[in-house]
Amino acid sequence: MSSLTVSSVYKKRKSYTWLYFLLPSIAIMLVFFIYPILLTFFYSFTNLALTGEAAKELKFVGFDNYVRMFHDPTVRVSIWNTLIFLIGSAVIGQQVLGFIIALLMKHKNRLFRRIIGTIVLAGWVTPEIVCALCLYSFFGDEGTLNAILSFVGISDVTWLYTVPMLTIILANIWHGTAFSMLVFQAALDDVPTEIEEAAVVDGASRLQILFRITIPYIKDTILTNMMLVTLQTLGVFGLIYAMTGGGPGTSTTTLPIFMYNQAFVNYQLGYGTAISLLLLLLGIVLSLFYIRSMKEQ
Amino acid sequence: MNAKQRNLIYRILPYLILTVIGICFLLPLLWVLVASVDSNALQSLKMPTRFTGANYGAVITNGENQRAFLIGLVMSLGQAVIVVILGLLAAYPLSRYQMKYKKPFMLTILFMTSLPITAVMVPVYQLFLSLKLYNNIFGVILFYVASSMPYGIWMLKNFMDSVPNDMEEAAWVDGASVFTGIRKVVAPLMIPGICTVAIFTFSGSWGNFFVPYILLQSPENFPASLKLYQFFGQYGMADYGKLAAFSVLYALPSVVLYILSQQFMSKGFGLQGGTKG
C-alpha cells in the first residue's frame, strides 16, 4: 500500500515541478550574477562613461579599450603589482606559512596548538577593513613595529612609504594564512603514519621524509589550495585600498584598485570594464582548473 | 653536537618557531584590543594610560553608528535568510530528482562559487543605475544573495544528500505535501548544514567592503564596514581609542559566529566541505 503511494509521488515528480523549485534562485543568479558577467564582455567594447560626451550615447569602440590598455604604462605596472601581490602573499606567503604552521603543529602539546591556532585564526575571522586598520597602525610611522625597533636602535622607518608592497603582502598573509593552515592540517592528518614510520626505519632524514613522502602525498591538496587562495587574493580590494589607497604613486596599485580608479575616479566605465575583464578571465581560467581538480578527487 | 643535543633541538625548535609566528600574528591584534580600552590610545601598542570603557560608550551611544550597525545587520541577516530559503528549494530537486543536466549544472554552480566578485562590480554598478537600485539597501541585499547563491546551493544540496529519503516518504504517506515534507522533515534534519550556510553568508557580507562601497552613495545608507572606513579616513589620526572600539564591536559578530560555526562543522575542515559531489 505504502509503496504504491510513494511511487505515485515519484511519478508526479517526473513532470516539471523541479522548475518551480529552481526558478527563484536561477532567476536571481541570472539577473545579478551571470548577466553582469556577460555585460563585462559587452561594455569592454564600448565607450561607456559617467560624464562628458560619451555619457550621452553609448558607442561601440571595438578594441579601442584594449589598444589603450596595451599602451597604458599604468596597466603594465598594475599587472606586475598584481603578480607580485599574488605570488608574495598567496602562492608563497599564505601557502608556505600555512604549511609550516600546520606541519610544526603536528603532535605538539594540545594547549599550545590551541593557542597558536586561535591567534592565527583570529586574523582570518577579522573583517578586512579591521585587518587593514590593525596592520596600518602596526606599520605606521609611530606604530608598534617602529616602537619595537627603537629598542634595538633602529629609528623611524616609514614602512608604508618605503616598502608599501611589502606591507600589503604581509597584511594579506596575516589575514589569509589561517585558511591554508586549516586545509593543510586536515591534509597532513590524512597522511598515514605507517609510511612515514617505514621511512624512518629505512634511515630517511626528516627533510627527505618531508620532500619525498609527505609533500608528494598531499600534492593534490596543495594544488587545489593554491588555486583557491589565488582566486581569493585576486579580488582583494578593501585591504589594499584602506591601507595604502594604491599608493604612494602607483606602487601598490593592483588590477582591482586600477579598475576602481578608472571606473569611479576617472568615470571611464568602459575602460574600467576592460580592465576587470582581465581579472575575470584570469578568475575563469583558475576556476576551471579548480573544478577540474575537484572532479578528479 | 651529539645525538642527544640534536634531538633536544629538534624538539624545542618547532615550539620556538611557532611562538615567534604566534607573536607576529598577535601584535597587530593586541593593539586594537588594548587601544579600545585606553583613555589615551596611540598608534603603537602600549600599556593603557588609564583603563576606560568610555571609547565603547561613545561609539555605542552615537546615533549614526547605531544606524550603521543596524543596516549591516539587516543586510547580512536578510541575505542569509533568503539564501537559505531559496537554497533549500533549489537543493531539493537537485538532491532528490533524477534530472538530465544535473551534473553540468552542479559543476557550473561550483565554478561560480570561486569567481572573483570584484571583477563584475563595474557592470553591476551600471546595471544598478539602470534598474534604479543604486544607493538602495535592498538592492545590495539582492546582489549579496545572487553572489552567495552558488555557495548556498552547493552546500545545501550536499547536506541534503545525507538526509535519508525514508522519513520524508513516510510523511507523504501520511498525506504531507512536498513542501510540508521539506519544512517539517528534511529541513529540521539539516539544521547544522543550514546554520553553516547562514553563518558563512552572514559573515561574508558583514565583512564585505567593496560591494556596498560601489553600490551605495549616501552616508545614511552605509553599513558598519563603510562607516568604519569613513571613520578611519576622517578621525583616524585623532582618535585611535574610538576607532579601535568601533573595530572591535564590528569584528565581534564575525568572531562569535565563527566560534558557533565550529560546533556545526563536526566533520572538520576538508576542501570538499565534507561532501560527495
* ipTM, interface predicted TM-score of the complex: 0.86
Question: pLDDT > 90: what percent of chain A?
Answer: 29
- Please indicate whether, in this complex, the C-beta atoms of B90 and A224 are within 8 angstroms of each other: no
Mean pLDDT of B104-125: 87
pLDDT in tens, A155-210: 778 888 889 999 999 999 999 999 999 999 989 888 888 888 888 888 888 888 88
Residues of chain B found within 8 Å of residue A35, distances taken between Cβ atoms? 127
Output the pLDDT for position A132: 92
> And the C-alpha cell for A31?
539577473
Q: Which of A254-268, B83-97, B170-184, B197-211 has the lowest mean pLDDT?
A: B170-184
Locate all alpha helices (DSSP H) within chain B, ordered by sequence.
3-35, 54-61, 63-96, 102-113, 121-130, 137-161, 165-173, 178-181, 187-189, 191-206, 210-215, 224-235, 240-264
Upper half-sphere CA count for residue B204 (Cβ side, 13 Å): 23
pLDDT in tens, A115-132: 999 999 998 999 999 999
Mean pLDDT of A25-53: 83
- Please indicate whether, in this complex, the C-beta atoms of B116 and A284 are within 8 angstroms of each other: no
Residue B209 pLDDT exceeds 60:
yes
Mean pLDDT score of chain A: 84
CB-nearest partner of A36 from B87, B120, B229? B120
- Please indicate whether, in this complex, the C-beta atoms of B29 and A206 are within 8 angstroms of each other: no
pLDDT in tens, B8-23: 888 888 899 999 999 9
- Please indicate whether, in this complex, the C-beta atoms of B114 and A36 are within 8 angstroms of each other: no
Shortest distance, CA B2 to any CA of chain A (angstroms): 16
pLDDT in tens, B161-191: 888 888 888 888 888 888 888 888 888 888 8
| Interface residue of B121, B185, B217 to substitute, partner A, most A CBs within 10 Å | B121
Residues of chain B found within 8 Å of residue A24, distances taken between Cβ atoms? 86, 89-90
Output the pLDDT for position B274: 35
Closest chain B CA to residue A185: B269
Residues of chain B found within 8 Å of residue A233, distances taken between Cβ atoms? none
- Please indicate whether, in this complex, the C-beta atoms of A127 and B206 are within 8 angstroms of each other: yes
Question: pLDDT > 70: what percent of chain A?
Answer: 91
Residues of chain A found within 8 Å of residue B187, distances taken between Cβ atoms? none
Q: Which of residues 2-31 of A touch B (CB under 8 A)?
A: 2, 5-6, 9, 13, 17-18, 21-22, 24-26, 28-29, 31
Mean pLDDT of A273-291: 85
Helix (H) or strand (E) holding A132: helix A128-139
Mean pLDDT of A65-86: 88
Residue A51 pLDDT exceeds 70:
no
**B172 with A6: CB under 8 angstroms?**
yes
Residue A2 pLDDT exceeds 90:
no
Question: What is the spatial distance between Cα A295 and Cα A292, in angstroms, rounded to a whole number?
Answer: 5
Residues of chain A found within 8 Å of residue B173, distances taken between Cβ atoms? 2, 5-6
- Please indicate whether, in this complex, the C-beta atoms of B114 and A286 are within 8 angstroms of each other: yes
Res. B238 pLDDT band, cuts 50 70 90? low
| Interface residue of A4, A22, A99 to substitute, partner B, most B CBs within 10 Å | A22
Q: How many residues does chain B have?
A: 277
Res. A296 pLDDT band, cuts 50 70 90? low
Output the pLDDT for position A3: 46
Output the pLDDT for position B276: 35
Output the pLDDT for position A274: 86
- Please indicate whether, in this complex, the C-beta atoms of A186 and B32 are within 8 angstroms of each other: no
Residue B211 pLDDT exceeds 90:
yes
Residue A50 pLDDT exceeds 50:
yes
Specify the 3-state DSSP secondary structure of B80.
helix
Find, among B86, B250, B192, the residue nearest to B94 by Cα.
B86
Residue A260 pLDDT exceeds 50:
yes
Q: Which residue has the higher pLDDT, A15 or B166?
A: B166
Residues whose CB falls within 8 Å of the CB of residue A295, separated by 6 or more in sequence, listed in order: B107, B277
Output the pLDDT for position B103: 85
CB-nearest partner of B258 from A125, A241, A256? A125
Output the pLDDT for position B40: 79
- Please indicate whether, in this complex, the C-beta atoms of A105 and B18 are within 8 angstroms of each other: yes
Planar angle of CA A177, A182, A184, nearest 5 degrees: 95
Output the pLDDT for position A69: 81
Q: Which residues pair with A46 in a beta bridge?
A: A60
